[in-house]
């Protein structure tokens, strides 16, 4: 499982020119799954994400402490392999049907933390607008 975390001042996602998810201050999560990912990886990543001290304060604060929000976007291209040729290969990305199940479980488990969670639409052509705060971008890999 891979997650790209971007601290955000405001973000939204549009599908067919309609906003389907938006947040104010918080985190944008670009999320991808690979073969072997389970609820174990999901719970590990969620715990890491919501408790990571990357917000201003003394000491630095976590998303839980700031009351921030999450915009979670599925993005299989995080598993792109561009080592050969000019066209990336996505063979490491989990097949769509299985990834959709894990993504929905990821979102459900995030919502159980009582954080406001907004999403895009799995598999849709999305336009994601991110106002990166900092900028602050962190890449997590469950391996």
Respond yes or no: is residue 75 known to be catalytic: yes
Work out the percent of the chain whose per-residue pLDDT is above 70.
100
Which pLDDT band, with edges at 50, 70 and 90, does 24 fall under? very high
Please name the residues in contact with 57: beta carbons below 8 A apart, sequence gap of 6 or more.
65, 66
Question: Is residue 79's pLDDT more than 80?
Answer: yes
Domain 2-141 has CATH 3.50.80.10: yes
Among the listed residues 77, 91, 108, 137, the single catalytic one is: 77
Among the listed residues 33, 76, 106, 119, the single catalytic one is: 76
- Asked if residues 106 and 31 have their Cβ atoms less than 8 Å apart, the reply is yes
**10 Å Cβ neighbour count for 91?**
10
Question: Is residue 143's pLDDT more than 90?
Answer: no
Reported as a single tens digit per residue, the pLDDT across 81-123 is 999 999 999 999 999 999 999 999 999 999 999 999 999 999 9
Distances (CA, A) of 72 to 14, 84, 117, 127: 13, 30, 7, 13
Mean pLDDT, range 9-37, rounded to an integer: 97
Which pLDDT band, with edges at 50, 70 and 90, does 80 fall under? very high
Question: Is residue 58's pLDDT more than 80?
Answer: no
Please name the residues in contact with 141: beta carbons below 8 A apart, sequence gap of 6 or more.
1, 2
Mean pLDDT, range 130-143, rounded to an integer: 95
Among the listed residues 6, 33, 55, 75, the single catalytic one is: 75
């Amino acid at each position: 499982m891979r997650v790209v975390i971007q601290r955000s001042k405001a973000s939204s996602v549009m599908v067919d020119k309609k906003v389907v998810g938006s947040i104010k201050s918080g985190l944008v999560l670009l999320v991808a799954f690979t073969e072997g990912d389970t609820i174990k990886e999901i719970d590990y990543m969620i715990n890491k994400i919501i408790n990571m001290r990357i917000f201003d304060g003394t000491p630095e604060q976590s998303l839980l402490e700031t009351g921030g929000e999450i915009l979670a976007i599925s993005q299989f291209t995080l598993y792109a392999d561009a080592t050969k040729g000019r066209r990336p290969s996505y063979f490491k990305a989990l097949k769509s049907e299985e990834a959709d199940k894990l993504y929905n479980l990821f979102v459900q488990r995030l919502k159980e933390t009582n954080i406001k969670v907004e999403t895009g639409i799995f598999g849709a052509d999305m336009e994601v607008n991110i106002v990166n705060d900092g900028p602050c971008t962190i890449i997590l890999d469950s391996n």
